[in-house]
A and B are shown apart, each in its own frame.
Chain A
Amino acid sequence: MLSEEILFAINDADDGMLEAVSCRLGYRVQAAPARLGRLSRRAALLAAVIAAFLAFSAVAYAANLWGIREMFNNPNMELPEAAEDLIVSQSESGQGAGIRCQVTESLCDVNQILLTVTVSGDETHILVPQDALPEDPLESIGRDGEGTLADHAARQGKTLLYIGATLALPGPEGPEVHAQGIQTTCISDSEMALLIQAERPAGSSLEGAALCVTTLEEGASVPERLEVPVALTEAAAETELIFAPVDPDAVPGVRVGEATVTISPLGVSATWPETMTNAEDYYKIMKIDFEELTDFEGSGSVLGDDGVYHNQISMGQGTVTDTLTVHYYDWDKQPIGDIIFKKK
């Protein structure tokens, strides 16, 4: 019947239309912090600075110019001063997959690993972040000029080379890659700096960590990989605290467990289990924030192997006292309840 056919046929509606409707319905997910926007402006500034520097010198950039201090770019927070003192210089390097890479700096605490690496290509390629598209404007990667990345490559007679990177940590069954984000700065056509910010599972070892840089030439379908072992040092001391909920059922649809809170120079991380007690109410929960902590990297609820959701935040900034108050909001950003945790 036509009505059924139409339900299927409209599935491929225009993305923009769907996003507009989902926003109006309140279905749209909370937008993540606009890190890329901020990165682009900063990247443009940094690119201009380095271009001026290179114009006056035949000497290539100093590798450590693109270290953690320079690359860390969070719209909500600066890199804490206490954390800056714990940055470790790295010297590992590797060559392959059409690139050379130089690991420059790292900073590890119990929850997070920050790692910077500089990647250099040959004269036939233009290095772009792996998430770039050929039709993206050149300025989207912080470079001056008109047209798209594809236009820029065509003008130079070069090929786009997409660069990505992950950091793997040793796990019980081999290397494991955990949630991580990448910020990139395109220094020139053939040079790119990357900051990898990786989550670190509780109790994980840093020994045996490896950086994997992937390259994918425009038009190719199989990426190439370059692995570089990295010796990481746990530089940041941390304190672990346990907080118990005063009323685990204070928010409709969910029962929370004890929160594990760790404090390091990078900030405050917290995780606590959430058991769904009523699906309809649980799915009304849209976002959370803290009374005592601000500007955290992001929070999320992840379904664990144990079948329980685990809410977690990282790099929260603020002072942890004996009480932590978590505000829960619905899709209309209206408060639906608070969970108050008390330090045990």
Chain B
Amino acid sequence: MEDKEIVNLYWQRDEEAIPATAAKYGSYCRIIAYNFLGSAEDAEECVNDTWLGAWNSMPANRPARLAPYLAKLTRWLSLGRLRDSRRLKRGGGETSLALEELSEVLDSGMDVQLQIERRELAAAIRRFLAGLDEDKRQVFLARYWFMAPVKEIARRFGFSESKVKSMLSRTCRELREKLEEEHYVERRNIVCHK
């Protein structure tokens, strides 16, 4: 079934929208949830929550692209599930590893300005991503948006694992510099692990 037809079903409050969505996007959302949560059972529950979220948000939303819309819902719910269960750091799938990688560069000596709206931070990151070359951007998103394991990224992108790690590390440093430039972070001390 076409995406637009599925969205129509949501707008018509037709309960068939959910099995139609599950049939087309179940595997896609499950793999995202699984990357975050590391448990098939948790992933399945999260995907079911995704369908509920889709049902509750359409209408009023009418996404032109259903795949990223559902993927964002799944990812958000997976993160929320980890945060609520205080497992974000000790995670869940690839999440704890990814957080360690990010924190090695981003957290050392830095803190988020508490008053910053997450939306502003998101906008700054969007600008940063738009300015990256395509390979670096895709590797960054593959790792930190989709939580794909480094090994998998290397295989899919045709890079060595060390190259992927190096690209990620470099991109994180660039992100840190960008956020510093835009005053989204405050340095607590002068010496940072650069």
Contacts and interface: CB of A to CB of B under 8 A. Distances in A.
Interface of A: 1-15, 17-22, 24-29, 32, 35-36, 129-131, 133, 164, 166, 177-182, 212, 214, 216, 221, 223, 279-280, 283, 285-286, 298, 300-303
Judged by DSSP, the binding face of A is mixed
Contacts of B26: 301, 303
B145 A25 contact: no
A27 B142 CA distance: 10
B65 interface: yes
Contacts of A12: 72, 122, 126
B19 A302 contact: yes
Contacts of B112: 1-2, 5
A129 B7 CA distance: 12
B182 interface: no
B125 interface: yes
B40 A302 contact: no
A15 B14 contact: no
A302 B22 contact: yes
A177 B102 CA distance: 47
Contacts of A1: 103, 107, 111-112
A173 to B, nearest CB: 12
Given A131-B8, A166-B14, A280-B40, A301 B23 contact: yes
Contact of A17 (B25, B59, B129): B129
B23 A221 contact: no
B96 to A, nearest CB: 11
B107 A283 contact: no
Interface size on B, as a range, is 35 or more
B107 to A, nearest CB: 5
Contacts of B102: 2-3, 6-7
Contacts of A26: 156
A27 B152 CA distance: 11
B20 interface: yes
Given A8-B79, A8-B118, A27-B31, A179 B107 contact: no
Nearest to B48: A303
Contacts of B8: 130-131, 164, 182
Interface in B4-57: 4-5, 7-9, 11-12, 14-16, 19-20, 22-28, 30-32, 34, 40-41, 44
A286 B26 CA distance: 10
B22 A181 contact: no
Contacts of B145: 10-11, 13, 18, 21
B40 to A, nearest CB: 3
Nearest to B104: A3
A178 B99 CA distance: 43
B103 A5 contact: no
Contacts of B64: 133
- List the 4 shortest-distance A-B pairs measured between CB atoms, nearest first: A300-B23, A279-B40, A131-B4, A3-B102
A281 B110 CA distance: 42
Contacts of B31: 27, 283
Contact of B107 (A3, A130, A180, A214): A3
Contacts of A4: 83, 88, 99
